[in-house]
Chain A
């Protein structure tokens, strides 16, 4: 298997594109024609060959471009990467988890050789060849969490467990759906989820926290979350709202299919061995409405979900202003035919 990496941008001229293969493997998040918050958690990794669920950390055609975009964001705002001092061990755990997984799952792209704590890491797509001492921070150019997450797609949160709760004590966050690490760092599970409407009352967060605390290192899990983004922008942060917020107003009936993206987060949960911390990678996938509609089942279903969604959720997810145009556009792909259960396209 050889992988082609796209030359593309996630800001400015927005040249991001999905190949037809990337569209077909897009993690469409709706398994039915309606949506409500739930504790939608299943085991990970595991899924059809070629799907983003197959491997622990999915690497796709956007890898190199996403890492360049992260570099730009970090250069402008170093506070997107923070780690409280007691989280360094968790950083090493995460580095090990990602290096071991990638070398195992993508041997043609990544290679890890270990002799005790003397490690040799080769990352071909990014042109990195590094020898270092595991657990010795002086042998890396930056902290272990920052080092490895500059080489892994998606955002990362590292949670410290104490007092029966999880605390967001470290993270690398540059492709987030409108939340801020700098604001949330040091908060607990209920504090950082406070802005989410309805879910707390439904008991979703109590159940989700209990589940997360019971995650052991033998078994990891995933869930999908989603929102809507105008233009293929990874950095939709509150810090930069002035840059992307106004772009919501550029949607017209003519361009909505190309400029309106469904943004899906593949969130996974891992108990880390040495620190007993929890790792929470949040991988972002983008697909515009035009591309979604190439899969007839997805076009029909997305129309129904967005037409019937609770107005509070449309408001919270930030697409209420364009909801009418989006639903109108998608209606042309909905002939009223029934849809099959599950998230995968029909052949």
Chain B
């Protein structure tokens, strides 16, 4: 996997919980351009291990002068966002992956409706710019609890087709009103809490929208869980996966070679063959089919965990 060694050139506090980071090439070189909705994976060295989290790019996709992300501090998460908030300073070196996109715009759409809940605004910030440059009709709705928490406000342009819904002020997002009456050929994109994604899917299906016109950001952060052990077939080594660690992170810490890209269960890169399984794989990815899950012959280590006596991986 190709990596980019960049420099942190700006850190800005957008809200009590959200900071914006800008990364640039230390020699001022151009970075690869990308498409709206793309993300990068940021490496965070912590002692012996390297933590890697994926974040949506929020900057202009066609501008290679720098990459920007917005990180919300999650104190109960696995620590990556805490690291970004407390350890990273302007001028630091930082290693990131080149961009990949699992939430692209469908440019066939006659119109694009973008629905963001909370920090789910991030992928839309680059999509907005792409839609602007491609001169495609769109509208964006951004829902947040309070103005103070709405980190996206500072990053959104003021425009007639950008709508802010602050629930504390009684302006809740009314999905029925937004989706009803959209022109034929409109696509809707949702990023935010699971509840919002599901509500949009339900509403769209009630209104008879084709399933292919309804998109949502697929990848999420790996969930913590109970610790467990896996055996690496080639070496016979046993690797322990801690409660706040993903299986992929534990394998990397044990210097087992394994491929990845999204680290969020959506790209398929980390798929690993299971050579012995006495127990139950807790599949948390969005990649494997129901049939593949049931077989327990393959696992996505970036997201999934295990409960049982023995799990052996073909690594």
Contact = CB atoms under 8 A, between A and B. Distances in A.
Nearest to B3: A218
A163 B106 CA distance: 10
Given A162-B212, A163-B212, A214-B269, A274 B34 contact: yes
A216 B261 contact: yes
Contact of A273 (B33, B261, B271): B33
Contact of B98 (A84, A160, A217, A275): A217
Contacts of A274: 33-35, 61-62, 130
Interface residues of B, number: 27
A273 B34 contact: yes
A166 B268 CA distance: 15
A276 B108 contact: no
Interface in A144-200: 160-163
A86 interface: yes
B1 interface: yes
Contacts of A65: none
A89 B130 CA distance: 11
B162 to A, nearest CB: 23
A273 B2 contact: no
Contacts of B130: 274
A167 B112 CA distance: 20
Interface in B82-141: 97-101, 104, 106-108, 130, 133-134
A313 to B, nearest CB: 28
A281 B302 CA distance: 32
Interface string A67-85: 0000000000000000011
Contact of A217 (B99, B107, B108, B212): B99
A250 interface: no
Interface in A213-242: 213-214, 216-219
A160 B35 CA distance: 13
A85 B108 CA distance: 8
A29 to B, nearest CB: 26
B267 interface: yes
Interface string A272-307: 011110000000000000000000000000000000
Nearest to A216: B100
Interface string B30-68: 001111001000000000000000000000011000000
Interface centre among A135, A160, A218, A219 (most CB of B within 10 A): A218
B288 to A, nearest CB: 10
Given A89-B107, A89-B134, A274-B62, A218 B98 contact: yes
Contacts of A161: 104
B33 A214 contact: no
A86 B2 CA distance: 29
Interface in B1-50: 1-2, 32-35, 38
Nearest to A213: B268
A271 B61 CA distance: 15
A210 interface: yes
A164 to B, nearest CB: 9
B290 to A, nearest CB: 14
A219 B2 contact: yes
Contacts of B101: 276
Contacts of A86: 106-108
Contacts of A218: 1-2, 32, 97-98
Contacts of B269: 214
Nearest to B105: A276
Contacts of A273: 32-35, 99
Interface in B177-225: 212
A339 B2 CA distance: 36
Contacts of B133: 135
Nearest to B271: A210
Contacts of A214: 261, 267-269
A219 B268 contact: no
Contacts of B35: 273-276
Contacts of A271: 100
A297 B33 CA distance: 45
Interface string B261-301: 10000011101000000000000000000000000000000
A215 to B, nearest CB: 9
A109 B111 CA distance: 43
Contacts of A216: 98-100, 261, 267
A212 B97 CA distance: 19
14 contacts: A85-B108, A161-B104, A162-B212, A163-B212, A213-B267, A214-B268, A216-B267, A217-B32, A217-B34, A218-B97, A273-B35, A274-B130, A275-B35, A276-B35
Interface of B: 1-2, 32-35, 38, 61-62, 97-101, 104, 106-108, 130, 133-134, 212, 261, 267-269, 271
Given A86-B106, A210-B268, A217-B34, 13 more contacts: A89-B107, A89-B134, A135-B133, A160-B108, A162-B212, A210-B271, A213-B267, A213-B268, A214-B261, A216-B261, A217-B98, A218-B98, A275-B107
Q: Which 4 pairs across A and B sit closest by C-beta, in order of nearness?
A: A218-B2, A86-B107, A218-B98, A276-B35
